[in-house]
Amino acid sequence: MLSMRKFVRPVAASREELLVEVTLSPLSEAYTYSVPETHQSEIEIGVRVEVPLGRRIAVGFITGVLSERELQETFQIKNIHRIVHPAPCFTPEALEFYKWIAHYYCVPLSKVLETAVPDPLPIKIQKHWFATASRDEVRGIKQKEILRILRERDVAGISHFELQQLFPKSSAILNRLQELELAIREEKKEDASSFLTHPHLAEDCLPSITLNEQQASALGAISASLNQKSYNGFLLHGITGSGKTEVYIEAAQHVLAQGGSILVLVPEIALTPQLVDRFRARLELPLAVMHSSLPKRKRWECWRAIAEGQCRIAQGVRSSIFAPLHNLSLIIVDEEHDSSYKQGDGFRYNARDLALVRAKLCGATTILGSATPSVESFYNASQKKIGYLRLKERPYQTKQHSYEIVNLGRIKKGEMVSESISPQLFSAIQETLIRGEQVFLLYNRRGFARYLQCNTCGESVFCPNCSVPLTYHQYGQKLLCHYCSFTMEPPQDCKSCMERTDLESTPLLELRGSGTQKLFEELEELFPNVSIARLDRDSADSLSELESILHGVRDGSIQILAGTQMIAKGHDLPGVTLVGVIDCDVGLHMPDFRAAERVFQLLTQAGGRAGRREIPGRVILQTRLPNHFSIALTTEEDYHSFAKRELSLRKKLLYPPFRKLVRVVCSAAEEQLPIEQLRTMRLMIQQWCEAHAISIECLGPSPAPIEKVKALFRAHLLLRSEKSSELRKLVSIMKKHIKVPVNIRVTYDMDPQDML
């Protein structure tokens, strides 16, 4: 990106000037400034500066350094005003990566920087108190007490902050002690590395493990790539407990020995505390651990430690993909299939995809690990775009968990123990509780989409064009496709049953998809003396609450935990021996082309939660579709057949990975506005595609499956193409030329994960 001339004044410049490009939010291009001689030694890519912009002072990053000669014309350029933070906030290598992102997601570089780099905070100066050598005694109780503590702390001293917490309003006493020359005060700069997570002390370290043959061969391939120091991506596919984490750790040790640095991405730190602990126990360097609810200061200090090269291992959630590690050699993406790698607002990047991009840009190795890889990654592996490493067995013998299917279609209404609980599940819960073991019950809270389901065969009504379920709309009493807007009257009877048999009475289609929220109440009624907890996004808003629930499960004070897919994620909770899935079909009937994949992943993960090592686990799946491939293949633990089947459907129906998608969502307070806006946009798109020879297909517009969010009505339009470059071309044109009325909000989602 070259400098902008708009802003500068055309007056002759002096020859000695050092010029920099500064990227300022929200501007789409960098501006050029000159650097006064006093600051020239401090100029580097990534330094945060204040510059004059029009009549105000703006803050931005140096994203280019050029000499006077590089400017074709001579201009007098304004000086930068001040250096906000002297050390660079990112490396030149990271900047290349940010520029790639800006290009791919069609957003200004300034927007990427704004998202990526935390706001710098001034380095804190802390007052520290120390006891002097004087042994004089004092009279007041408080004085004595404070002095005792100071003497106890000896040379380490104690921070003013900590003292104020121990002894509120003690400033006067401290001053008095200082007057008596019994205490002294010193100012200390806070060190960024104090915000890092330090390795466990030697005695806490776990012994290292001898890898089994499969692990060793996976590690061999990874090490070979690390030795080459050129880009390679790998899919590490191994069932839960097959030893993937051991492979990550040994690969990380290899990198540390080579002097490189490591980035470890996890879906949610609070859900995978073991991973952090195990890295901490086995690697000898401090870690920067970055999760979503980190206080601002800690987030900035972790970033600073990384940018200053004080820290070579960063572990964190999706936003850590931006971390400015020096000499990055290895990126690990654990649970790569997890949809939380996709950012849900702003520019919607996918950290898993970016892990491959970043490695490619800097010649690093990426490991995508999962027990149930996304079919996209599996497809990449089958096309040899990335390597495929398989861990088939668990290193130690475990009692296998067993799957049991309860066909709800065969149970008469009166036979159900409650609305959601079948007699089979009920007795399994009872048996488990009697043995003193614990139960997980999974329900899909997103049961907002109502669909018609056949009582006999479990099928629902699908869109003939898009192969996603039609959802039922109360108002018009119609079935609607949320991809292409196809509508129909709700049919009276089930087509798939009619095709198979000629039954005398036609099976009824029934409306389903809500009511799962009631589960908690049902459980309290059925198991009055049992401690039941609930875990979902609503009840576990804060991390501490989440941790306390998980703690309760670990120490046995919670006997039944009911929750959304959150509870299926990587917890190692050995007391849980029964996992019940209340209604598998809710997930299958989502108007989302990834519905089958998500259900397969969820059920497989749920299976991984049931019983570990000594006690065999049971998984009970309640469904009306026992033969649906994603349920049947879960119970057979056959990922490969699942992936093949799913990929052949995607190919036939032209969904990713065979096509690229962009989802355009409009929202507005008035119901008709979003869809009308999208209709206009669609017409313009068609004209542009013709004019620029872009081949893109438009699906929709149609109301979004979640029609209303925060009082705004939503509609969406899907753009589909074989090439993402075509889509990018179109999106850039749209962003530039479409004038959207202020009362309508438009968002563009490249490679959307969320279709709701």
Q: Which of 49, 106, 442, 497 binds Zn ion (CB under 5 A)?
A: 497
Query: Nearest approach, Cβ of 377 to ligand ADP (angstroms)?
Result: 16
Evaluate the omega torsion of the peptide bond into residue 701 and state whether it is cis, within 30 degrees of 0.
yes
Q: Which region among 240-248, 352-360, 503-511, 636-644 touches ligand ADP (by CB under 6 A)? A: 240-248
Q: What is the 3-state secondary structure (H, E, C) of 97-166?
A: HHHHHHHHCCCCHHHHHHHHCCCCCCCCEEEEEEECCCCCCCCCHHHHHHHHHHHHHHHHCEEHHHHHHH
Under rule CB under 6 A, residue 244 binds ligand ADP: yes
Which of 58, 632 has the CB closer to Zn ion? 632
Under rule CB under 6 A, residue 66 binds ligand ADP: no
Under rule CB under 6 A, residue 272 binds ligand ADP: no
Under rule CB under 6 A, residue 245 binds ligand ADP: yes
Q: Which region among 49-57, 214-222, 399-407, 475-483 touches Zn ion (by CB under 5 A)? A: 475-483
Which of 28, 506 has the CB closer to Zn ion? 506
Yes or no: say if 363 and 225 are a contact pair by the CB < 8 Å rule.
no
Backbone phi, psi, residue 277, to 5°: -60, -40
> If 0-12 CB within 10 Å is exposed, 13-18 middle and 19+ buried, where does residue 467 land?
middle
Query: Nearest approach, Cβ of 556 to Zn ion (angstroms)?
Result: 44
The entry of Zn ion, ligand ADP, none that residue 215 binds, CB within 5 to 8 Å by partner kind: ligand ADP
Residues forming a β-bridge with 131: 183
Q: Which of 173, 362, 484, 579 binds Zn ion (CB under 5 A)?
A: 484
Which of 274, 648 has the CB closer to ligand ADP? 274
The entry of ligand ADP, Zn ion, none that residue 483 binds, CB within 5 to 8 Å by partner kind: Zn ion
Under rule CB under 6 A, residue 273 binds ligand ADP: no
Give SS3 for 390.
strand
Q: How far is CA 139 from CA 163, 171, 174, in A?
A: 19, 17, 14
Under rule CB under 5 A, residue 457 binds Zn ion: yes
Own/partner long-range contacts of 505-511 (Cβ < 8 Å, ≥24 apart) = 507/454, 507/455, 507/456, 507/457, 508/454, 508/455, 509/452, 509/453, 509/454, 509/455, 509/461, 510/452, 510/453, 510/454, 510/455, 511/450, 511/451, 511/452, 511/453, 511/472
Under rule CB under 5 A, residue 466 binds Zn ion: yes
Q: Which of 84, 211, 361, 615 binds ligand ADP (CB under 6 A)?
A: 211
Q: What H or E segment, with its residue span, contains residue 277?
A: helix 273-282
Q: Which of 483, 593, 655, 713 binds Zn ion (CB under 5 A)?
A: 483
Under rule CB under 5 A, residue 71 binds Zn ion: no
Query: Nearest approach, Cβ of 211 to ligand ADP (angstroms)?
Result: 5
Under rule CB under 5 A, residue 494 binds Zn ion: yes
Q: Which residue type is seen at 561?
A: L
Q: Which of residues 374-413 bind ligand ADP (CB under 6 A)?
A: 395-396
Under rule CB under 6 A, residue 617 binds ligand ADP: no
Q: Within a 10 A sphere around the Cβ of 364, how many other Cβ atoms?
A: 28
Under rule CB under 6 A, residue 663 binds ligand ADP: no
Q: Which of 110, 240, 343, 559 binds ligand ADP (CB under 6 A)?
A: 240
Token digits for 263? 């980035």
Query: Nearest approach, Cβ of 209 to ligand ADP (angstroms)?
Result: 4
Under rule CB under 5 A, residue 463 binds Zn ion: yes
Token digits for 300? 């900035």
Backbone phi, psi, residue 116, to 5°: -75, -45
Q: Which of 134, 175, 465, 548 binds Zn ion (CB under 5 A)?
A: 465
- CA 683, CA 689: separation in Å to the nearest integer? 10
Q: Which of residues 501-530 bind Zn ion (CB under 5 A)?
A: 507
Q: How far is CA 382 from CA 47, 378, 661, in A?
A: 43, 6, 21
Backbone phi, psi, residue 408, to 5°: -65, -25
Which of 461, 666 has the CB closer to Zn ion? 461
Under rule CB under 5 A, residue 481 binds Zn ion: yes
Under rule CB under 6 A, residue 292 binds ligand ADP: no
Q: Which residue type is seen at 332?
A: I
- Whose tokens are 């018009």? That residue is 476
Give SS3 for 242.
coil
Q: Say if strands 478-480 and 471-473 run parallel, antiparallel, or are unpaired.
A: antiparallel
Query: Nearest approach, Cβ of 506 to Zn ion (angstroms)?
Result: 9
Q: Which region among 22-30, 58-66, 154-162, 477-485 touches Zn ion (by CB under 5 A)? A: 477-485
Evaluate the omega torsion of the peptide bond into residue 26 and state whether it is cis, within 30 degrees of 0.
yes
Residues forming a β-bridge with 368: 235, 333
Which of 238, 513 has the CB closer to ligand ADP? 238
Query: Nearest approach, Cβ of 241 to ligand ADP (angstroms)?
Result: 4
> If 0-12 CB within 10 Å is exposed, 13-18 middle and 19+ buried, where does residue 384 land?
exposed
Query: Nearest approach, Cβ of 440 to ligand ADP (angstroms)?
Result: 17
Under rule CB under 5 A, residue 454 binds Zn ion: yes
Measured over the CA atoms of residue 580, residue 585, residue 588 and residue 590, the dihedral's sign is negative
The entry of Zn ion, ligand ADP, none that residue 454 binds, CB within 5 to 8 Å by partner kind: Zn ion
The entry of Zn ion, ligand ADP, none that residue 241 binds, CB within 5 to 8 Å by partner kind: ligand ADP
Q: How far is CA 170 from CA 147, 165, 187, 629, 675, in A?
A: 12, 9, 18, 69, 63
Q: Which region among 495-503, 601-609, 614-622, 675-683 touches Zn ion (by CB under 5 A)? A: 495-503
Q: Which region among 138-146, 243-251, 514-522, 648-656 touches ligand ADP (by CB under 6 A)? A: 243-251
Q: Say if strands 56-67 and 48-53 run parallel, antiparallel, or are unpaired.
A: antiparallel
Backbone phi, psi, residue 478, to 5°: -130, 160
Yes or no: say if 332 and 306 are a contact pair by the CB < 8 Å rule.
no
Which of 324, 369 has the CB closer to ligand ADP? 369
The entry of ligand ADP, Zn ion, none that residue 243 binds, CB within 5 to 8 Å by partner kind: ligand ADP
Which of 246, 583 has the CB closer to ligand ADP? 246
Residues forming a β-bridge with 57: 52
Instruction: Tell which phi-psi region holds residue 219, choosing left (phi > 0), alpha (psi between -120 and 50) or beta.
Output: alpha
The entry of Zn ion, ligand ADP, none that residue 396 binds, CB within 5 to 8 Å by partner kind: ligand ADP
Q: Which region among 190-198, 207-215, 405-413, 483-491 touches ligand ADP (by CB under 6 A)? A: 207-215
Under rule CB under 6 A, residue 267 binds ligand ADP: no
Q: Which of 350, 456, 559, 634 binds Zn ion (CB under 5 A)?
A: 456
Side-chain-facing half-sphere of 287: CA atoms under 13 Å? 25
Which of 47, 457 has the CB closer to Zn ion? 457
Under rule CB under 6 A, residue 243 binds ligand ADP: yes
Under rule CB under 6 A, residue 513 binds ligand ADP: no
Which of 396, 475 has the CB closer to ligand ADP? 396
Q: Which of 110, 242, 432, 630 binds ligand ADP (CB under 6 A)?
A: 242
- CA 485, CA 708: separation in Å to the nearest integer? 17
Under rule CB under 6 A, residue 241 binds ligand ADP: yes
Which of 212, 635 has the CB closer to ligand ADP? 212
Q: Which region among 58-66, 242-250, 281-289, 699-707 touches ligand ADP (by CB under 6 A)? A: 242-250
- CA 615, CA 567: separation in Å to the nearest integer? 19
Binding site for Zn ion (CB under 5 A): 454, 456-457, 463, 465-466, 481, 483-484, 486, 494, 497, 507
Q: By CB under 6 A, name the binding residues for ligand ADP.
A: 209-212, 215, 238, 240-246, 395-396
